[in-house]
Structure 1
Amino acid sequence: MRTEEQAGVITRRQSIAGGLTDEHIRARLSSGRWQRASAGVYYTFSGEPTRPAVLWAALLTAGPGAVLSHQTAAELIGLIDRPEPPIHVSVPSQRHITPVAGVQLHRRHHTPVAAPAREPARTTAEDTVIDLTQAANDVDTAVGWVARACARRLTTPDRLRAALATRGRLRWRDALTAAVADVAAGCHSVLELRYLRDVERPHGLPPGIRQRRRQEPQTTYSDVEYDPFGLVVELDGRAAHEDPGRDRRRDQVSAVRGWMTLRFGWADVRRRPCESAAAIAVLLRRAGWSARPTRCGPLCRLPGGSLEPGGSSVP
């Protein structure tokens, strides 16, 4: 019995197949050498179970065809940074399973599975992302999973696009499909997606270059660059900008190149997209952009003929 392949967890059926009897199992449980994880599933050690052991126990308890999914699969592939209860397990739709404490069961007809060596079976990265989008409370959270998975290089826009096409019923299909396309264009976060859709595109700003790599004097990535106008837009979402020193270094690199940096946060993009577009347009016009921004709609707050502070027209 190679229980190390299952983080020290074994089922009764596996034990019997390995030559043990029910009497042997009872003796090991009574002595404390083994612990009962659930009915017919055992930890073959004493002491606190490790996280991998807990996951294996949940999976083996759910039985044949079960796979880890949703947040639990996201934990295994590195899409989230820490475990989140409960443990999510997907099982074949025809299976009838008694509820398990601490385990959220999901029934599905077909589940593409990824099972790396020595790891419990889990949904593929693409199916994990789509599952999380469907469990999200709002569309921003849903598209955020798409952006994060691609930014962490766990999947690609093409693979996500193909996986979306296999799903019959899907909430926010149009928004998710659009998000995949925008991520392919270089957006790495929800804030970057919002900037593209609410600030840049609807106000007719020139297309920016996204996630350009610079190595002067050290490697940095700009969120959006307007070349040849010498303007960098950095989008400061809290989760992506926990290192203020990194932000300063990026600004310094831009300054050395003679570029100006504008920084926008959530409030600037979501609550004041028209004003943010106007500020960018002023600097672009000063740098030689010959066009003018356009109004995003009848309620657009973009200034009409005056884009400069103080009311003077942009030359």
Structure 2
Amino acid sequence: MLSTMKRGAWADDLTAIRDASLDGVIRARTLEQLGVARSTVWSRCRPEGPWQRILPGVVLLHNGRPSTTQRYLAALTYGGPDCLLSGYAALDVAGYSTADRNDVLLLVPAQQHRRAVSFVDVERTCRMPDGLRRGHLRYAPPSRSLIDVARRLSSADRCRAVLTSGLQRGDVTVDQLARELGDGPNRGSGLPRSIVRELGDDAHSVAELQAQKLYASSGLPRMVHNEDVFGPSGEWIARPDGWLDEVALAWEIDSLRYHFTAEAHAATLQRRARMQRAGIVVVSTLPRQLTSDPRTVLADLRAAHRLACVRPRPAVFLREAA
């Protein structure tokens, strides 16, 4: 419960005002309840003043550039207690890389009237998800946030990159993304629906999807993807991105970006060494080569296939489905 100060007494000690704020973000109405006259609030929010009006009815208690967290808090303060961050803002709070996106998507209940303003985009929805919290920040779960981003994209590659980021982190499954799309509005759903269908084929990165499309033009035998390969005694060897079983050829799409940590990349190198010790011919491709130099990638694959055809096939096999 806020205790109203004597008119003008707030200026003698700003502690109460700072304590009532969230990282310097406070409602103008709260300031009035603390004894700051409305005219004083807006006077202090003039360009030369010590505060700023960051959103309608929301004040930031300094006149410098707001931090990302302050922008998120301001949006939530503007939206009210039932709103949630979604889209890039929610993914940022959840720890995703969002390339410093400036827009903030706010989900508000359908019966609540809030308009898009400044850096805040508002979506009124009848499907308010159960929110997550990090400190004072309330945000939609990854499945909703990812789809809310995807519905606003026009680039297929960017849409794949966003959706596969959730799959790679283990935050969502393809089925969860498909359900979220099915339950949501049709507006903007065409592209993410097609991407989710592609992701259902067990390709878990943009690079792997690009590789599969390029390989289709190679004229080489059919390749399977993400299948476990075992040695003659049943020991597991690897799960390469692509596999030609007839000649025991593996295709690996290598990039630290898709393996997240140095430890995971080291595991990739160890897996490749196991394959080579088992006699498997391994082709390694960097993701950027798929688009910058596809002819060389295809030439490497065809040369490796010729090499695999002339050497005895090693005793390695795919495990048959149960």
What TM bracket, shorter-length normalisation? 0.5 to 0.7
Query: 2-side partners of 1:252 and 1:192: how far apart?
Result: 20
Query: 1-side partners of 2:209 and 2:83: how far apart?
Result: 35
Query: How far did residue 237 of structure 1 move?
Result: 5.7
Corresponding residue number in structure 2 for 1:80 = 97
Query: How far did residue 279 of structure 1 move?
Result: 4.2
Alignment deviations for residues 91-121 of structure 1 (CA, whole Å, 9 cap, x no partner)? 4456554552233334444332423152322
Which SS does the other structure have where 1:172 is aligned?
helix
Query: 1-side partners of 2:141 and 2:61: how far apart?
Result: 29
Q: What TM-score does the superposition give when structure 1 sets the normalisation length?
A: 0.66
Percent pairwise identity: 20
Query: For residues 4 and 242 of structure 1, do their structure 2 counterparts lie closer, same or farther at Cα, with a shift above 3 Å needed?
Result: same
Query: 1-side partners of 2:63 and 2:158: how far apart?
Result: 41
Alignment deviations for residues 177-208 of structure 1 (CA, whole Å, 9 cap, x no partner)? 323313xx3x3311112323542699543424
Query: How far did residue 150 of structure 1 move?
Result: 1.1
Query: How far did residue 246 of structure 1 move?
Result: 8.2
Contact conserved, 1:92 with 1:109, CA < 8 A, in 2?
Answer: yes
**One-letter amino acid matched to 2:25:** V
Match of 1:123 among 127, 140, 152: 140
Contact conserved, 2:131 with 2:140, CA < 8 A, in 1?
Answer: yes
Contact conserved, 2:181 with 2:193, CA < 8 A, in 1?
Answer: no
Corresponding residue number in structure 2 for 1:207 = 224
Query: How far did residue 78 of structure 1 move?
Result: 2.0
Unmatched segments (≥5 aa) in structure 1: 213-220, 290-315
Corresponding residue number in structure 2 for 1:192 = 208
Corresponding residue number in structure 2 for 1:172 = 191
Unmatched segments (≥5 aa) in structure 2: 3-17, 230-237, 315-322
Query: 1-side partners of 2:36 and 2:204: how far apart?
Result: 54
Q: Does 1:21 align with 2:21?
A: no
Alignment deviations for residues 212-231 of structure 1 (CA, whole Å, 9 cap, x no partner)? 9xxxxxxxx87526487664
Query: 2-side partners of 1:283 and 1:246: how far apart?
Result: 29
Corresponding residue number in structure 2 for 1:156 = 173
**One-letter amino acid matched to 1:21:** G
Corresponding residue number in structure 2 for 1:254 = 272
Contact conserved, 1:236 with 1:266, CA < 8 A, in 2?
Answer: yes
Bigger mean CA deviation after superposition, 201-210 or 134-143: 201-210
Q: Does 1:288 align with 2:313?
A: yes
Corresponding residue number in structure 1 for 2:25 = 9
Query: How far did residue 162 of structure 1 move?
Result: 2.3
Contact conserved, 2:283 with 2:300, CA < 8 A, in 1?
Answer: no
Query: 2-side partners of 1:142 and 1:190: how far apart?
Result: 9
Query: For residues 250 and 105 of structure 1, do their structure 2 counterparts lie closer, same or farther at Cα, with a shift above 3 Å needed?
Result: same
Q: What TM-score does the superposition give when structure 2 sets the normalisation length?
A: 0.65
Q: Does 1:263 align with 2:287?
A: no
**One-letter amino acid matched to 1:171:** G
How many residues are treated as equivalent by the alignment?
A: 277
**One-letter amino acid matched to 1:131:** D
Paired residues for 1:45-124 under 5 Å: 49-63=66-80, 65-92=82-109, 95-124=112-141
